[in-house]
Amino acid sequence: MTRVDFYLLDRATEGGRDTAVCKLTHKAFRLGHRVYILTDDHDGAQRLDRLLWIFAASSFIPHGLGARPADAGLPVLIGHEAPPPAHEDVLITLAPRVPEYFSRFQRVAEVVHGGDAEKTLARERFRFYRDRGYALQTHNLALEFSGA
């Protein structure tokens, strides 16, 4: 069964949600996982594509933008549509709703940052997973990033 992790950031976390996604992606990639990053739109996918190239000078994460068959062999893909079938290991989602294909992944990482509206949507997603019996964990990245 899919494991679901909620990663919580507060508004004061330096670098915000995109940096947190890069750090989570880097960790998953180093551990040998295939990652699909689901954004809520094309602009968000392009922003993360650029950021993954520059977020850490000492890291290289081979990745592609979109879910074209030619990209399916890459360990990390970024897009705002359904991923190709080969990606079913880790889903990092920034989407406001639970994606219908989430259960094909081993792990789902929900990254939550922002105001009350986003937190309300995150609580709805949390209830969705919980009510269906999925294993849930919550991580406060504001504390982890600050070293607390």
- Residues 103-130 have pLDDT tens digits of 999 999 999 987 788 899 999 999 999 9
Nearest to 39 by CA among 5, 76, 14: 76
Token pair listed for 50: 């650029």
Rounded Cα distance, 9 and 27, in Å: 17
Q: Give CA angle at 79 (93, 65), nearest 5°.
A: 135
Total domains present in the chain = 1
Residue 21: which domain range? 3-146
pLDDT-based confidence at residue 10 (cuts at 50, 70, 90): confident
Rounded Cα distance, 104 and 115, in Å: 30
Strand-pair partners of 79: 38
Instruction: For 24-41, give the DSSP string.
Output: HHHHHHHTT--EEEEPSS
Residue 75 neighbours by CB distance under 10 Å: 17
Q: Which residue has the higher pLDDT, 115 or 21?
A: 21
Characterize the bridge pairing of strands 76-79 and 63-65. parallel
Helix (H, G, I), strand (E, B) or coil at 102: helix
Rounded Cα distance, 34 and 25, in Å: 9
pLDDT at 146: 46
CATH code, domain carrying 90: 3.40.50.10110
Q: What is the pTM of this model?
A: 0.90
